[in-house]
Amino acid sequence: MSEGGGPPPAVRHRKKSAGDGGPRQNRKSKFSSGAGTGGSSPSVAQQHQMWARVVLMVAIAAIVYFTTFRTREKKFATQREVLELRSQPLDCSRAYLEEISKFAGCIPAQCGRFVSDKIVSTAEAGILLDLARAGFEHGQSSGGASILDLHSGALSQGTQFVNIYRLPEARRVFTTQHINVYRHVKEKVRQAVADHFRLSVDGLHLTHPTFFSRLTNGTAKTIHDEYWHPHVDKETYSSFHYTTLLYLTDYGKDFTGGRFVFIDSEGKHNRTNVYIEPRRARVSGFTSGAENMHHVEQVTGGIRFAITISFTCDPEHAMGDPKMTLEQDDGENGGVPDDINQTVP
């Protein structure tokens, strides 16, 4: 038979029978059984290995998160401490340095911040606290933040501002002692800023706004009551070059919350919150550029009194001592400057 012919009938029959018989089916069954064994659940060892990998991945993700996105806290000055001087040098922000370089004798040796409990006496702070309370008896914000500016006369009242010097009882509000101590303390603080940053005191001028603040836990009624937002003083008040605060009440005694917080950024996602706990007669001072972004914590109880005393290097933005009369009350808004309607430092 030629090679091209088909298989003999008997062979053909046997192959057909093999297709119908058990042996081939058995081989298929054995193959199926083997496939089933290969597709069964992982062994205990494999499960342990799998969970170990999951735990490792979670741990790595946590490490990456907490090293990339983190906020640290640091106490710069606590209420219990009595500090001769504590300071922290900082690199000046570029915009701040470019602007202040125009004013010879007013350029800081280095930007930064400081705190001292030895500049103003507790007796002087007590007299200024009495002054503040006397003023705020005649007007307060309906929200949690009230201000009193002795220079312009601006006083919070409800959701607006009034000029305290227009009030009939204004002449009886402030005593000669109040005003003399206010002027004396302002000069002591100005000298302290000049000494710390190595400036010519004659080139450092009081500027606006300089004001008393009264903060409570009252619900904010206007944007001006929301004092807790982070900000840069130079961006909020263009006249500022150096900012100081004099605290008139004690954190943890007269009020809770209300700490002053510097926000130091370290890269895009890391930052350190640097806290100052107010203490009566404590003075804090700092350069007003972006190197000292800050905010005030919301007051949670009691009343927090402080004075913001601001200084400029630009003579065009200088202002004199308060006159406590209506002589200066000739401007728009009842003698209240527009920039008083902004964030409390």
CB 277 within 8 A of CB 252: yes
- Give the three-state DSSP class for 295: strand
Among 316, 309, 262, 270, which residue's Cα sits nearest to residue 289? Answer: 262
C-alpha to C-alpha distance for 77 and 282, rounded to whole angstroms: 10
C-alpha to C-alpha distance for 102 and 107, rounded to whole angstroms: 8
C-alpha to C-alpha distance for 256 and 5, rounded to whole angstroms: 106
Among 178, 176, 188, which residue's Cα sits nearest to residue 118? Answer: 188
Pick the catalytic residue: 190, 214, 259, 304? 304
Phi-psi region for residue 78, left (φ > 0), alpha (ψ -120 to 50) or beta? beta
Q: Where are the alpha helices (DSSP H) in the chain?
A: 9-20, 22-38, 44-68, 94-100, 122-136, 176-197, 233-236
- Give the three-state DSSP class for 327: coil
Distances (CA, A) of 182 to 185, 243, 309: 5, 17, 11
Q: Which two tokens stand for residue 107?
A: 């350029």
For this structure, is 113 an active site residue?
Answer: no
Catalytic residues: 304
